[in-house]
Amino acid sequence: MDPSVMQARNQAYLEILKWGLLAIREAAFTGKTKLCEIEADHIHNLPSLLNDANEKRHHCYIVPERKYYLEQLERYGEVEYLEKQMRSYKEPWTVLMKAALPELEAENSAARAKLMGHDGK
């Protein structure tokens, strides 16, 4: 992994942690414990991703875990909160998605090759 990509990725995770913790504090102050639960579930694994070389773990956060987080907020019905968090997380999520693109493209190419019968078997 290119050190500059790892540094950018780490910075993005720290930014998400910052906004997530601020959101938890605000939600707790206003008594919205369900939002605290959703937000804590969203960010609890991020510290372990700092400096982690396992690309699959990063992919897991930016694709299925992020999707699950957004689905939870949609189900809860806090539209204003969801919009605010989307604005807060937009830049770090963009950084993480760009870092994950080579891995995602490789997975897609492998899947296409397998479907086409070109998987080397």
Tens digit of each residue's pLDDT (9 = 90 or more) over 9-47: 999 999 999 999 999 999 999 999 999 999 999 999 999
Q: What is the extent of the structural domain holding 55?
A: 3-115
Q: How many domains is the chain built from? A: 1
Q: In this structure, is residue 67 part of a structural domain?
A: yes
Tokens 């601020």 correspond to what residue?
22
The answer to whether 24 and 36 have CB atoms below 8 angstroms apart is yes
Q: Which amino acid, one-letter code, is at 71?
A: E
Q: In this structure, is residue 34 part of a structural domain?
A: yes
pLDDT digits (tens, 9 = 90+) for 95-108: 999 998 876 655 55
Here the tokens at position 64 are 């299925």
Q: In this structure, is residue 68 part of a structural domain?
A: yes
Here the tokens at position 88 are 């807060």
pLDDT for res 78:
85
Q: In this structure, is residue 84 part of a structural domain?
A: yes
Q: In this structure, is residue 121 part of a structural domain?
A: no
Q: In this structure, is residue 120 part of a structural domain?
A: no
| Residues shown for the chain | 121
Lowest-pLDDT choice from 1-5, 7-11, 84-88, 105-109: 105-109
pLDDT for res 113:
62
pLDDT digits (tens, 9 = 90+) for 52-70: 999 999 999 999 999 999 9
**What secondary structure, in 3-state letters, does the chain show?**
CCHHHHHHHHHHHHHHHHHHHHHHHHHHHCCCHHHHHHHHHHHCCHHHHCCCCCHHHHHHHHHHHHHHHHHHHHHHCCHHHHHHHHHHHHHHHHHHHHHHHHHHHHHHHHHHHHHCCCCCC
